[in-house]
């Protein structure tokens, strides 16, 4: 942690839960989509990691903002922005979709919710997708309406999330399939709930549109969650790197393409659908990628990464470390690195210079677990 | 200040100056364009305000990122995005330009630098203008290249900035007119320097492309600046509100139009140029605005605003306070507020509820000084 404070302002938007969180032991924020995203509580990151893997946590992930695209050309615009074939998509389902530009550079990697053929929500990572969508729609003269609706996501994550949510919403919430969503009633208010979330420990995301009902639900979950050892939490760096949940802006950005990031199964080239960057992706697919995201294990017992760190072999730069954390599971530092061709082979020995000391590491596949 | 830390990560980009600043007493950051922007040093905001008004400060404003638009259709695309008539613009000049969408909603308010007819830099406020520009260019099939170049701005602000900069760059830097820019030599490296900056105290912005030379210049300015009492600094909330330098995301956003924000002189409707939102702006211009940014003075001796606060008259909501600070000049809190029609008249008495206590205020014109 930097020990440097965050200077609050209206521009760094608060969420409906902010004042509650600050009374619940929140100690650090990050900023995501111009909004406060909790990043640490009084418990250490490692304690919170074990807690998440064994219990249940409530996360304020309001910063996962929605871009709502509705209207006659909504489906066409959403498809234009992603290399994933959505022609067989169904209402009530979530789709993880790389959004790319005409050069196949990654703009975002939202979870796309198909509410219906003419109304979609893009639950976005940290970039202003709304501006890209607006620019495209204006330029193409599409008949769409594009807004950021008043939706603040509350995530319930961890193995005990199922029992906790059943206690509130009944047995039918157990029947929701992974990446399915439906409306569920809480004291007379309907909430869109998806079985999803930014951990691999299982759980739900409540897309809160009725703020007052959401706050009541938040309080109620803590009240009845005591038997499941519920705690406030946030996306956990150890858990997300072990699971290789990639982070836009950290692990990849506009200078990387989906094939370099291992998104191959979301790159659908053999079809007639129209999307940006299709030709470029076909060329890259034919010639092969020139760099690739890999896991790396490093002989270190702590790290604090705030910018990319060079990775070398015999003093030659072969890539860069983009995310890293000490993993208690592996008893060493693990990280996600973009590695140049031809060095992106599992088992390749590399060096990483940290605080002027050269450390040894080796490349591996992701996810780590 | 919130006393809550900022959790660093690669996604919140460091600047070339970050490590230096943290040794120079930096205590708080904000995030701006996905980048660290210094927000406070060991000196209090008030001490820094007086220092800025009397001496000279060096600011790391790398977070003012550039969107570079070049190519055959560059001028056409830049004009399409702004309601300001750029048909008579000149090379080597800066232009403050509201960027709006087709509904006249504000997307950003950059300073636009015309390098030449086919190469422009948009020095942006906090939103991903690059994505809007890319979307439009792709949709319109314009022949342009749009990138974020490696430019990190260092601002030299305050009345003694002129003497300090003359000591480095010679007499000709004094001849630069307000919002003019040119190339100046520092130890063999050319730097684009504009007479501009986010204070009304005078000064320059160095658009550093050669990072190593920029770091040398940074150190040199502190070395030779002792006689001018140079200090590290950052945009100062007191100074910027007194001067009514509006802040995107704080004072206005996508839900406001340029006429509501007092940008009338940058709204050019009587011409043949094509820009987004022109018809909408003409309609608004004809019917008059339904809300307007005003100054407000409040009988309070401190405030810490982190979200909009309701403004009322006889318990009826008439607007919201968007930025506010205690001003030692006025010996009370001053702020910037969006006020509904017909209440946006100078002298109107209003109420603001802060910490459950109703405080009296009155509306005034901006700037305050």
User: Could you read off the pLDDT of A80-139 as tens digits, one per residue?
Assistant: 999 999 999 999 999 999 999 999 999 999 999 999 999 999 999 999 999 999 999 999
**Cβ pair A30:B9 closer than 8 A:** yes
Better pLDDT: B355 or A266? A266
Separation in Å, CA of B106 to nearest CA in chain A: 11
Q: Has residue A154 got a pLDDT over 50?
A: yes
Q: Has residue A1 got a pLDDT over 80?
A: no
Q: What is the pLDDT of residues A5-19, one digit of tens each?
A: 999 999 999 999 999
C-alpha distances in angstroms, B352 versus B196, B282, B290, B348?
Answer: 35, 34, 21, 13
**Cβ pair B28:A6 closer than 8 A:** yes
Q: How far apart are CA B11 and CA B354, in angstroms?
A: 35
Exposed, middle or buried, B226 (CB in 10 Å: 0-12/13-18/19+)?
Answer: exposed
Query: Contact at 8 Å (CB) between B99 and B81?
Result: yes
Strands lying side by side in the sheet with A35-41: A35-41, A26-32, B5-6, A5-6, B26-32, B35-41
The residue of chain B nearest to residue A81, with distances taken between CA atoms, is B135
**Cβ pair A10:B307 closer than 8 A:** yes
Per-residue burial over A322-346, b = 16 or more CB atoms within 10 Å of its CB, e = otherwise: bbbbbbeeeeebbbbbbbbeebbee
B292 φ, ψ to 5°?
-155, 145
Nearest one of B61, B204, B179, B52 to B126, comparing CA atoms: B61
**Cβ pair B1:A9 closer than 8 A:** no
Give the best residue of A63, A134, A276 to mutate against chain B (max B CB count within 10 A).
A134
A222 φ, ψ to 5°?
-70, -35
Q: How far apart are CA B109 and CA B129, in angstroms?
A: 10
**Cβ pair B306:A10 closer than 8 A:** yes
Radius of gyration of chain A (CA): 21
Query: Contact at 8 Å (CB) between B97 and B38?
Result: no
Three-state SS across A228-239? Answer: HCCEEECCCHHH
The reported pLDDT for the residue numbered B92 is 98
Task: Identify the bridge partners of residue B121 per DSSP, sorted by sequence position.
Answer: B68, B113
**Cβ pair A136:B139 closer than 8 A:** yes
Chain B CB contacts of A308 below 8 Å: 10
Separation in Å, CA of B309 to nearest CA in chain A: 10
Residue length, chain B?
369
Separation in Å, CA of B57 to nearest CA in chain A: 20
Looking at residues A321-343, what average pLDDT do you find? 98
Task: Identify the bridge partners of residue A147 per DSSP, sorted by sequence position.
Answer: A68
Nearest one of A227, A232, A154, A143 to A194, comparing CA atoms: A154
The reported pLDDT for the residue numbered A2 is 56
DSSP 8-state assignment for residue A177: P
C-alpha distances in angstroms, B168 versus A312, B151, B224, B295?
Answer: 39, 20, 9, 39
> Is the dihedral angle over the CA atoms A312, A313, A317, A318 positive or is it negative?
negative
* C-alpha triplet A194, A198, A203: angle, nearest 5°: 45
**Cβ pair B131:A107 closer than 8 A:** yes
Q: How far apart are CA B283 and CA B130, in angstroms?
A: 28
**Cβ pair B10:A249 closer than 8 A:** yes
Task: Identify the bridge partners of residue A119 per DSSP, sorted by sequence position.
Answer: A70, A116
Give the best residue of B306, B311, B320 to mutate against chain A (max A CB count within 10 A).
B306
Separation in Å, CA of A301 to nearest CA in chain B: 18
The residue of chain A nearest to residue B107, with distances taken between CA atoms, is A131
Give the pair of three-digit tokens for residue A242: 């072990």
C-alpha distances in angstroms, B151 versus A327, B62, B65, B205?
Answer: 36, 7, 7, 12
Query: Contact at 8 Å (CB) between B22 and B115?
Result: no
Give the pair of three-digit tokens for residue B72: 């055959």
The reported pLDDT for the residue numbered A153 is 98
Q: Kindly give, in sequence order, each residue whose CB lies less than 8 Å from that of residue B120, ignoring residues fewer than 6 positions away.
A: B68, B69, B70, B74, B75, B78, B112, B113, B114
The reported pLDDT for the residue numbered B63 is 98
Give the pair of three-digit tokens for residue B96: 């403050």
Residue-by-residue pLDDT tens, chain B, 369 positions: 458 999 999 999 999 999 999 999 999 999 999 999 999 999 999 999 999 999 999 999 999 999 999 999 999 999 999 999 999 999 999 999 999 999 999 999 999 999 999 999 999 999 999 999 999 999 999 999 999 999 999 999 999 999 999 999 999 999 999 999 999 999 999 999 999 999 999 999 999 999 999 999 999 999 999 999 999 999 999 999 999 999 999 999 999 999 999 999 999 999 999 999 999 999 999 999 999 999 999 999 999 999 999 999 999 999 999 999 999 999 999 999 999 999 999 999 999 988 888 999 999 999 999
Give the best residue of A3, A8, A25, A104 to mutate against chain B (max B CB count within 10 A).
A8
Q: Kindly give, in sequence order, each residue whose CB lies less than 8 Å from that of residue B122, ignoring residues fewer than 6 positions away.
A: B66, B67, B69, B78, B97, B99, B108, B110, B111, B112, B113, B129, B133
Q: How far apart are CA B282 and CA B299, in angstroms?
A: 39
The residue of chain A nearest to residue B35, with distances taken between CA atoms, is A31
Chain B CB contacts of A4 below 8 Å: 5-6, 22, 26-29
Separation in Å, CA of B180 to nearest CA in chain A: 29
Nearest one of B24, B262, A316, B368 to A353, comparing CA atoms: A316
Nearest one of A272, A269, A271, A291 to A280, comparing CA atoms: A269
Give the one of B12, B29, B102 whose C-beta lies nearest to A138's C-beta.
B102
């Amino acid at each position: 942690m930097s020990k440097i404070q965050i200077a609050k302002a209206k521009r760094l938007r608060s969420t409906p839960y902010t004042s509650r969180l600050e009374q619940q032991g929140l100690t650090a924020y990050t900023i995501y989509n111009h909004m406060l995203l909790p990043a640490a509580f009084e418990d250490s990151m490692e304690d919170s990691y074990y807690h998440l893997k064994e219990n249940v946590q409530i996360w304020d992930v309001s910063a996962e903002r929605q871009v709502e695209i509705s209207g006659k050309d909504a489906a066409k615009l959403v498809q234009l922005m992603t290399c994933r074939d959505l022609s067989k998509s169904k209402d009530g389902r979530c789709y993880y979709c790389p959004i790319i530009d005409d050069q196949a550079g990654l703009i975002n990697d939202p979870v796309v919710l198909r509410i219906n053929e003419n109304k979609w929500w893009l639950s976005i990572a940290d970039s202003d997708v709304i501006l890209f969508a607006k620019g495209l729609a204006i330029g193409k003269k599409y008949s769409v309406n594009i807004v950021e609706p008043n939706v603040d996501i509350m995530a319930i994550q961890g193995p005990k999330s199922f029992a906790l949510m059943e206690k509130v919403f009944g047995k039918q919430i157990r029947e929701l399939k992974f990446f399915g969503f439906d409306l569920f009633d809480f004291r007379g208010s309907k909430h869109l709930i998806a079985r999803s979330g930014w951990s691999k420990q299982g759980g739900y995301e409540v897309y809160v549109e009725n703020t007052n009902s959401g706050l009541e639900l938040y309080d109620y979950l803590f009240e009845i969650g005591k038997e499941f050892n519920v705690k406030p939490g946030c996306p956990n760096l150890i858990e997300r790197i072990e699971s290789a949940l990639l982070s836009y802006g950290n692990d990849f950005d506009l200078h990387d393409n989906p094939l370099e990031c291992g998104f191959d199964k979301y790159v659908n080239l053999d079809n007639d659908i129209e999307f940006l960057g299709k030709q470029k992706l076909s060329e890259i697919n034919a010639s092969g990628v020139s760099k690739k995201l890999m896991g790396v294990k490093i002989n270190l017992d702590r790290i604090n990464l705030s910018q990319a760190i060079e990775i070398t072999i015999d003093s030659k730069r072969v890539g860069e470390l983009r995310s890293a954390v000490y993993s208690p599971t592996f008893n060493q530092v693990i990280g996600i690195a973009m590695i140049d061709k031809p060095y992106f082979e599992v088992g390749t020995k590399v060096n990483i210079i940290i605080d002027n000391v050269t450390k040894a590491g080796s490349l591996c596949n992701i996810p780590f677990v």
